[in-house]
Amino acid sequence: MNCPVCESTELIQGALEANLTSMKCPDCKGNWIHGAEYWKWLEKHGPNLPEMPEPVNDLQSSETGKYLDCPECQFRMSKFLVGHGIGFTLDHCEGCKGIWLDGNEWEALKSRNLHDDLNAMLTEFWQASARREARRKHLEKIYTQKFGAEDFAEIRRVRVWLDNHRNKQELIAFLTDKDPFGI
């Protein structure tokens, strides 16, 4: 079985955890996890660990962003967002249920305790929330470029204040009226 990224490199037997084997690429350090292996590990792993807000260490994924073919059944794999501040995606084969993780991705997920949530990441519920998060981040970037970080922080503060104000509509009307005092 060859690496879906390096293509000509053969995957070798490895282990991500004591009870979780993977097929590892000696070149790009990616890991192929059989769907069934992950479910078995999850059962033994015990209760879902609470998510850690900050990563223990700042690991960079070696993800290239291109679509990959499943190393087992050659199906084109789908990309699933991780979200929660993590920028890379998981590659998942709908055919055999296997998961491809690029180099460092298991470690990065583990440092946030998200490594026992791969099953949840593959649900539409998780994906919809991750898409909302990505969209919010994208818009924040655009507004920060447009207004500058300081003004953007200020307008957001005003917005929160307005949103929670019982006279919100009147305040907005006052703010946008060219001549509120009629002079």
Cα distance between residue 26 and residue 56, in whole Å = 25
Round to whole Å and give the CA distance between 12 and 34.
Answer: 13
Does the footprint of Zn ion cover residue 3 (CB under 5 A)?
A: yes
| Window 6-25: residues binding Zn ion (CB under 5 A) | 6, 9, 25
65 with 56: CB under 8 angstroms? Answer: no
Exactly one of 16, 23, 70, 108 binds Zn ion (CB under 5 A); that residue is 70
Q: Is 82 in the site for Zn ion (CB under 5 A)?
A: no
Q: What's the chain's Rg over C-alpha atoms?
A: 23
- Least distance from Zn ion to the Cβ atom of residue 11, Å: 8
**Interaction of residue 27 with Zn ion, rule CB under 5 A:** yes
User: Contact between 122 and Zn ion (CB under 5 A)?
Assistant: no
121 binds Zn ion (CB under 5 A): no
Give how many residues touch Zn ion by CB under 5 A.
Answer: 13
Say whether residue 96 binds Zn ion (CB under 5 A). yes
Give the C-alpha distances (Å, rounded to integers) separating 93 from 52, 129, 172: 27, 21, 50
One of 72, 84, 127, 133 touching Zn ion (CB under 5 A): 72
Is 55 a residue that touches Zn ion (CB under 5 A)? no
Shortest separation between residue 164's beta carbon and Zn ion, angstroms? 50
| Residue from 21, 28, 122, 127 in contact with Zn ion (CB under 5 A) | 28
User: Phi/psi at 157 (nearest 5 deg)?
Assistant: -65, -45
Residues near 2 by Cβ (< 8 Å), separated by ≥ 6? 8, 9, 10, 11, 71
Strands, E, within the chain: which ranges?
12-17, 20-24, 31-33, 78-83, 86-92, 99-101
Using CB under 5 A as the criterion, which residues of the chain lie in contact with Zn ion when the complex forms?
A: 3, 5-6, 9, 25, 27-28, 70, 72-73, 93, 95-96
